[in-house]
Structure formats: structure tokens, C-alpha cells
Amino acid sequence: MTEKAFWQELFSAATAVVQPASCLPAFLPDPSKYDAIKVVAAGKAAAAMIQCLEETWPTVKVSGFAVCPYGYERPCQKVDVISAAHPVPDENSVAAAMKALKLAAGTGPRELLLVLLSGGGSSLLCAPIDGVSLLEKQKLTADLLASGATINDINLVRSYYSRIKAGGLVSSVQEDAEVLTLAISDVVGDDVAKIASGPTVCAPPAETDVRAVLSRFDVMAPSGYFPVERRAFEGHGYHIIASADTMLSKVREFLTAQDYEVVYLGGDVVGEAREVARAHAAEMRGRAVKNSKTRLAFLSGGELTVTVKGDGLGGPNQEYLLALMASLPAGQYAGFAADTDGRDGEGGAAGAFFDADTHIRAAKENRYSEYLQRNNSYNFFNGLSCNFKGIPSFTNVNDLRVIIYRP
């Protein structure tokens, strides 16, 4: 098996276990309990979740819609699929949010509002509060993304300036209705208030926390703010149906079956991609010295960030791998890092990989600093023919990183 084929097989196994078809049916309620079922699905898995719902409930009448990023559409029979922009919202994101708020307000007694969430929902449901325009919300999001802010920081700010996030979606649901949220978590720590910015979880952020984030990353706040009253909804169930832990457990099984001793570096790794890579490289070198005759596989997940200062293409996983190669001795390691949604930053790749031979070739050229300075990891790996070309995986549980030591 070629190196690329090995990584493709590993990635396929990792994402299969967190596909809606694998994790959603067991959590769906008994539809006969309700007079009507209304569905809002938002995120990278939204259309796939609706498709699974329709296959599980072939005779059940449902109404509603799904909103997913462009390119993540799937054919659905019972509800509309709206495409919108990610990670910076667009007009379709606003239209989807308005449609969701109207649907929720019309959910009455003995009716179920079924909310299906996955990574990307924060951008896809965008309802700026009065006094803040879509243009201001777009600039705010873009500035935070480029600043190196974590997704939790970004979503905290997004929620503050939103009518639908932090419980806004269910504030107008009528008494004696029910709400059930089923989520594929892309959030480190699986905090339900942070998945898609918690449209069904009443947890509005404090102004002091928002101002602290904007100050820390030197991002200007929108000019106006008119707070939205949010009502906690009592008849609400919430289940995380898949997460990074689900995916990483499967990868551990895969690597063990390939006769690797797995060294788990954590499923909740966050931070600047290149800094995390250097710390990981130091640990890998130390472990390799102690286990010089053992095949090791260093496994980690989480969500890394990049502070963009250059004009290149790439994403956190590719930048991590580039910085890691610069910090490891060439010839004994192979590595892979990708975003499980199939897209890592800008450039069109899901991530990248390298083997011992390409590592040796890259080390001889020694252009790591040049590419890191420009945040140009995509083109670095493109020159080595080591981009891991992504297609939408129709799910998202964030980063997957596997580095292999072969004595």
C-alpha cells in the first residue's frame, strides 16, 4: 500500500464512524408522539442528516429545511436545502436564520422542533441584531479568523451580536411544544452552548467577556448594540450523537490493527498550529529515543488556529505539519494532518501528508521558514505532491493528526 493510500484508508475509517447514517438513527424520537415535526438542520452535516432522517422515517411527514455550506448539499425529498457561506456568512445565511426563527415561532403544543446541528452552523445561521449590519458581521468574523482567535472566542463574539445564537432560536417556541437538539460536535470539550453557537441553549455571553476578546485580538467592535431578550425553554432535550472522541477511538483501533503502539497526545489540543507542532515534535523525539525499536503512532485531535500574517494559502493542519517537519529529523517519520470536514483553510485541500523520502527531500531544500513566514503551507505540500485533496465529508469533528515513527 502506498503512503497516500494508507492515509486515505485511515481518513475514510475516521470519518465513516461520525457520519449521520452511523450515529443519528439511534437518537431519533418516536415520531408518533407528535402532531407535527418541524426540522431545522444547520452545519456541514446538515443535508446528510436530513437525508438520513428521511431514510429512517420514510413515511413520516416533516417540514423545515437544512442549511449547509456551498458544496455540502445532498438530495433531500421532504425539506429544502439552502446553501450559504462558511466561515464568513452571506445573505443566504441571514435568509436561513430568518426562516429558522419563523419556523420556531410557529411550533406549538404537541409539536416537535427537531434541531440537527453540526460544525459550521454559526456561520450558516446569521441573524445580526438591530444596529449591526451583515457587512459589519462579515468584517467582524473575518478579522477574528485572521487574528488567531480560537473558535470559542469567535463564537462568543458572534453570539453577542446575534438574534438566533445563545438560545435565540427557541425563545419564541410556544408553551407545551417540545424541542430536541441532536448534534455532531466540532467543539473541543463538547460544550453544548458552543456547538453552532448554541441556538437552542440559553447562555448569552457577558459584555465584559466579549470586550475582552475583541481587545485581546485588536478587533474593532460593530458600532451599535441593542440587546435581545432570550427566554430559556424548558421542554428541551439535547444529545451529542458523535464527537472527536468517537472518531479518535476508531483511529486508535485502526492504528493498533496496523501494529503501531499508539501514543495519545490528546483530543482537545488547541493553540497556534506551529507552536503546537514544535511542542509535539519535542515529545516525539523523546519518545522515539526511549522506544527506538518500536513502531509508534502519535495521535491527536482538537482545533488549532493560525495567526495570518502572510499572503499564502493553507490551513491550521497543513501549517502544523509544515512546522512539524521543520522540527523533526528527516527519514524516520511519516505524518498526516487534516480537517475531518474535508477542507482545511484556503487552497482546497483537506490537509497534507509526508513520508520519509519527501521529508528528506524537503529537508535538503530547507525552505520551511520561507513558507511558514507567508502562511503558505498549501503550496509547500503542493510542491511535494503531498496535498491531501479533500472533498466534503458531510461531517465535522475537527482535526485529525497522526504522526508515525518507523525505526
pLDDT tens-digit series, residues 123-155: 999 999 988 999 999 999 999 998 988 888 999
Please report whether residue 231 resides in a domain: yes
Please report whether residue 1 resides in a domain: no
Look at residue 48 and tell me whether its pLDDT is greater than 90.
Answer: yes
**Rounded to two decimals, what is the model's pTM?**
0.93
pLDDT of residue 315: 95
pLDDT of residue 233: 65
> Which of 211, 242, 273 is at the close of a domain?
242
Look at residue 166 and tell me whether its pLDDT is greater than 70.
Answer: yes
- The CATH number of residue 96's host domain is 3.40.50.10180
pLDDT of residue 66: 98
For residues 39 and 148, state if they share a domain: yes
Look at residue 277 and tell me whether its pLDDT is greater than 70.
Answer: yes
- Of 163-172, 216-225, 239-248, where does mean pLDDT reach its minimum? 216-225
For residues 219 and 261, state if they share a domain: no
For residues 28 and 155, state if they share a domain: yes
Contacting residues for 22 by C-beta, under 8 A, at least 6 apart: 16, 242
For residues 52 and 172, state if they share a domain: yes
Domain span including residue 296: 245-405
Tell me what the mean pLDDT of segment 165-191 comes to.
92
> Which of 209, 242, 275 is at the close of a domain?
242
3-state secondary structure of 361: helix
Please report whether residue 10 resides in a domain: no
For residues 269 and 238, state if they share a domain: no
pLDDT band per the 50, 70, 90 thresholds, residue 109: very high
pLDDT of residue 47: 97
Please report whether residue 26 resides in a domain: yes
Please report whether residue 61 resides in a domain: yes
Tell me what the mean pLDDT of segment 60-85 comes to.
95
Q: In whole angstroms, what is the distance from residue 396 CA to residue 20 CA?
A: 10
For residues 310 and 326, state if they share a domain: yes
For residues 115 and 28, state if they share a domain: yes
pLDDT of residue 321: 98
- The CATH number of residue 295's host domain is 3.40.1480.10
Please report whether residue 76 resides in a domain: yes
Please report whether residue 169 resides in a domain: yes
For residues 139 and 184, state if they share a domain: yes
Look at residue 235 and tell me whether its pLDDT is greater than 80.
Answer: no
Express as a percent the part of the chain with pLDDT over 70.
Answer: 97
pLDDT digits (tens, 9 = 90+) for 366-388: 999 999 999 999 999 999 999 99
Look at residue 227 and tell me whether its pLDDT is greater than 70.
Answer: no
pLDDT of residue 225: 65
Query: What residue type is assigned to position 252 of the chain?
Result: R
Tell me what the mean pLDDT of segment 240-248 comes to.
97
Contacting residues for 139 by C-beta, under 8 A, at least 6 apart: none
pLDDT of residue 171: 87
Tell me what the mean pLDDT of segment 179-206 comes to.
93
For residues 199 and 293, state if they share a domain: no
> Which of 196, 216, 242 is at the close of a domain?
242
For residues 254 and 225, state if they share a domain: no
For residues 260 and 233, state if they share a domain: no
- Total domains present in the chain: 2
3-state secondary structure of 166: coil
- Of 96-100, 201-205, 273-277, where does mean pLDDT reach its minimum? 201-205
Mean pLDDT, all residues of the chain: 94
For residues 140 and 151, state if they share a domain: yes
Q: In whole angstroms, what is the distance from residue 212 CA to residue 205 CA?
A: 12
Q: In whole angstroms, what is the distance from residue 156 CA to residue 153 CA?
A: 5
Please report whether residue 13 resides in a domain: no
Closest residue by Cα to residue 144 from 200, 69, 71, 222 = 222
